[in-house]
Amino acid sequence: MDTLFLEFFQNTGFYLCDYRNIIMILIGIVFIYLGIAKDYEPLLLVPIGFGMLVGNIPIFTGLGLGIYENNSVLHYLYFGVTQGIYPPLIFLGIGAMTDFSTLLARPVLMLLGAAAQAGIFITFLGALALGFAPNEASSIGIIGGADGPTAIFLTAKLAPHLIGPIAVAAYSYMALVPVIQPPIMRLLTTRKERLIRMEEPRQVTKREKMIFPIVAFLLCCFLAPAALPLLGMLCFGNVLKEAVVTERLAVTARTAMIDTATILLGVTVGASTQGDVFLVPSSVGIFVLGAVSFCIATASGLIFAKIMNLFLKSKINPLLGAAGVSAVPDSARVVQMVGQREDPTNFLLMHAMAPNVSGVIGSAIAAGVLWSLMA
Amino acid sequence: MYGIEAINANNGWAISVVGITIVFTGLVVLSFVISQLHKVMDLFENPRKIKGWFIGEQKAAEEGEISESPPFTLTEEQKEITKQFALLARTMEEHFSLPRLLHLSQISGVKNPHSNLNILLKSAIIFPDGEGFFCWDQNLYTKIISQ
């Protein structure tokens, strides 16, 4: 009987536990705390945080429980991440809930979304310089797009072994948008610039909104066909929304479907961060480079907005440049918050949504370009 | 391999330049196309304008092909009330219900909501979409208000 107890004890988490599991469990608890108590991207941080707890329960290898064990339930669910299935489904939902009106009303703001993608390529160079392989460097650089699904999609294609740290870094920085962006915004703009009021946008017709996703899809995918899975679903979701007659499908895409994909993606990405796999020196490098990438992306958007102001008759508030990163709608909200701190009657949210949604398109094109250049 | 040497060895500079150029080109072209979209839509909705290009707008007008509707004039007070309606209309969907707009104007304290709404309908600033709802013509509104 003693032997049975001993054998059982040797199979328990208490016996198999490693300090790395404890660290990851603590990080998971912090994620859940930040999500619930601080309201930092709760829809992402809570599933990822709980996934970290799931993935770091020490288990006896061979029982078919771990995410990296063939035929385990988690392994099957993780298939959606490794094969890049969940990100396009999330993009479908994003498309079905995005209103491109402000972008259509003032298309020039789209350039801010393009400028912010500079962070991706500058970080790509930084990652190469730090000794990462080109495919790994591309996956790290895309963190600067501040677009979790895009980062996961590209990493699944180019560097699947880095999905855990890259996904966690991407979602962490997305959640920390209200913390990371404001200091950079204040540093790179003057008070006078932050007080600039935007012109009221023109009213956009229903027909324009209907045609936009089709034109955008055709143009962008002819230019960068590798962006097809992400942009295709984004634009398709938007067509469902704007077509009105397909409202039922649009509702499913922006509620049940995106929620299901987010839950599965969040939990499995969290569960993939097993201490022994996640706590390696390269993860530290990924987190540092991810933060750099995000800061450069924010700064690029701001600086580009200031450059645009040199040529535009009707000046734009340079804070909008920070919304060029595609953390929708968080970075647009941060722009509104920083702008209102200077002038409570200045409403920038609506205008900031334009670079914000163009950032989503821009990061999907950037992912497509990197994929096609690395494949 | 680290540093500049690693970047050079992996063709990093070229990849970055090509990458950012493609992203920029894509979004610049898309931005240009969508900036022209409403003009194309306008032509699609008013094919007479295309004819005007070829035979001259004046001649087309003489032929009665281009007929600008006579501008609807509002008093200063009516203009103020129309601006209030414009703000209310902005809070609604593009295709909105007229009773709902009327209700909003009543609870917002707009003066003589029934008769002023009637003026907006007569001026065609608010027009029926043919499916039981109504739309707000922002261009006409701007034109009439700026008179």
In the prediction, which pLDDT does A60 show?
76
Quick check: B25 contacting A, CB < 8 Å?
Answer: yes
What residue type is assigned to position B1 of the chain?
A: M
Chain A CB contacts of B41 below 8 Å: 205, 207-208, 211
Quick check: A341 contacting B, CB < 8 Å?
Answer: no
In the prediction, which pLDDT does A187 show?
94
How would you label A136-152 residue by residue, b for 16+ Cβ within 10 Å and e otherwise? Answer: bbbbbbbbbbbbbbbbb
Residue A361 and residue B27: Cβ atoms within 8 Å?
A: yes
Residue B24 and residue A114: Cβ atoms within 8 Å?
A: yes
Closest CA to A337 of A138, A175, A186: A186
Quick check: B107 contacting A, CB < 8 Å?
Answer: no
Whether the predicted pLDDT of B137 surpasses 90: no
Whether the predicted pLDDT of A299 surpasses 90: yes
Whether the predicted pLDDT of B68 surpasses 70: no
Chain B CB contacts of A107 below 8 Å: 30-32, 34-35
Which chain A residue has the Cα nearest residue B137?
A: A203
Closest CA to A75 of A279, A278, A273, A272: A272
Q: A with B: how many residue pairs have Cβ under 8 Å apart?
A: 123
What whole-number distance in Å separates Cα of residue A179 and Cα of residue A45?
15
Verify cis geometry, omega within 30 degrees of 0, for the bond prior to A183.
no
More confident residue, A66 or A107: A107
Going from the C-alpha of A5 to that of each of A14, A61, A89, A205, the distances in angstroms are 14, 19, 47, 73
Distance from CA of A184 to the nearest CA of B (A): 22
Residue B31 and residue A220: Cβ atoms within 8 Å?
A: no
Residue A373 and residue B18: Cβ atoms within 8 Å?
A: yes
Q: Percent of chain A at pLDDT above 70? A: 100
Chain A CB contacts of B146 below 8 Å: none
Instruction: Reduce the DSSP state of residue B39 to 3 states and report it.
Output: helix
- Listed by number, the residues of chain A in 11-70 with a beta carbon closer than 8 Å to a beta carbon of chain B are none
- Given A103, A117, A134, which is nearest B20 (Cβ)? A117
Chain A CB contacts of B33 below 8 Å: 215, 219
Distance from CA of B67 to the nearest CA of A (A): 23
- Listed by number, the residues of chain B in 66-95 with a beta carbon closer than 8 Å to a beta carbon of chain A are 94-95
Average pLDDT of the residues in A71-75: 88
Binned at pLDDT 50, 70 and 90, residue A263 comes out as very high
- Given A120, A129, A365, which is nearest B7 (Cβ)? A129
Which chain A residue has the Cα nearest residue B136?
A: A203
Whether the predicted pLDDT of A322 surpasses 60: yes
Average pLDDT in chain B: 82
What residue type is assigned to position A10 of the chain?
A: Q
Which chain A residue has the Cα nearest residue B24?
A: A114
Residue A128 and residue B12: Cβ atoms within 8 Å?
A: yes
In the prediction, which pLDDT does A259 show?
95
Average pLDDT in chain A: 90
Q: Which segment of B70-74, B98-102, B125-129 scores lowest on mean pLDDT? A: B70-74
Binned at pLDDT 50, 70 and 90, residue B71 comes out as low
In the prediction, which pLDDT does B57 show?
62
Binned at pLDDT 50, 70 and 90, residue B29 comes out as very high
Distance from CA of A60 to the nearest CA of B (A): 39
Chain B CB contacts of A369 below 8 Å: 18-19, 22-23
Whether the predicted pLDDT of B60 surpasses 80: no
Closest CA to A296 of A122, A52, A36, A61: A122
Chain B CB contacts of A362 below 8 Å: 23, 26-27
Q: Which segment of A22-36, A125-139, A246-260, B64-78 scores lowest on mean pLDDT? A: B64-78
Q: How deeply is A265 buried, as exposed, middle or buried, from its count of CB atoms within 10 A (0-12, 13-18, 19+)?
A: buried
Residue A122 and residue B37: Cβ atoms within 8 Å?
A: no
Distance from CA of A111 to the nearest CA of B (A): 7
Q: Dump pLDDT digits (tens) for A186-197.
A: 999 999 999 999
Q: Dump pLDDT digits (tens) for A106-152.
A: 899 999 999 999 989 999 999 999 999 999 999 999 988 878 889 99
Binned at pLDDT 50, 70 and 90, residue A306 comes out as very high
In the prediction, which pLDDT does A283 show?
87
In the prediction, which pLDDT does B56 show?
67
In the prediction, which pLDDT does B62 show?
62
Binned at pLDDT 50, 70 and 90, residue A200 comes out as confident
Q: Which segment of A240-244, A285-289, A300-304, B50-54 scores lowest on mean pLDDT? A: B50-54
Chain A CB contacts of B29 below 8 Å: 219, 223
Going from the C-alpha of A340 to that of each of A106, A178, A303, A327, A337, the distances in angstroms are 21, 14, 20, 20, 5
Residue pair A138/A374 in contact (Cβ under 8 Å)? The answer is yes
In the prediction, which pLDDT does B46 show?
76
Whether the predicted pLDDT of A331 surpasses 80: yes
Whether the predicted pLDDT of B117 surpasses 70: yes
What residue type is assigned to position A132 of the chain?
A: F
Distance from CA of B60 to the nearest CA of A (A): 27
Which chain A residue has the Cα nearest residue B44?
A: A207
Q: Which segment of A183-187, A207-211, B67-71 scores lowest on mean pLDDT? A: B67-71
The 3-state secondary structure of chain A reads CHHHHHHHHHCCHHHHCCHHHHHHHHHHHHHHHHHHHCCCCHHHHHHHHHHHHHHCCCCCCCCCCCCCCCCCHHHHHHHHHHCCCHHHHHHHHHHHHCCCHHHHHCHHHHHHHHHCCHHHHHHHHHHHHCCCCHHHHHHHHHHHHCCHHHHHHHHHHHCHHHHHHHHHHHHHHHHCHHHHHHHHHHHHCCHHHHCCCCCCCCCCCHHHHHHHHHHHHHHHHHHCHHHHHHHHHHHHHHHHHHCCCCHHHHHHHHHHHHHHHHHHHHHHHHHCCCHHHHCCHHHHHHHHHHHHHHHHHHHHHHHHHHHHHHHCCCCCCHHHHHHHCCCCCHHHHHHHHHHHHHCCCCCCHHHHHHHHHHHHHHHHHHHHHHHHHHC
Q: Dump pLDDT digits (tens) for A5-27.
A: 888 888 888 888 889 889 999 99
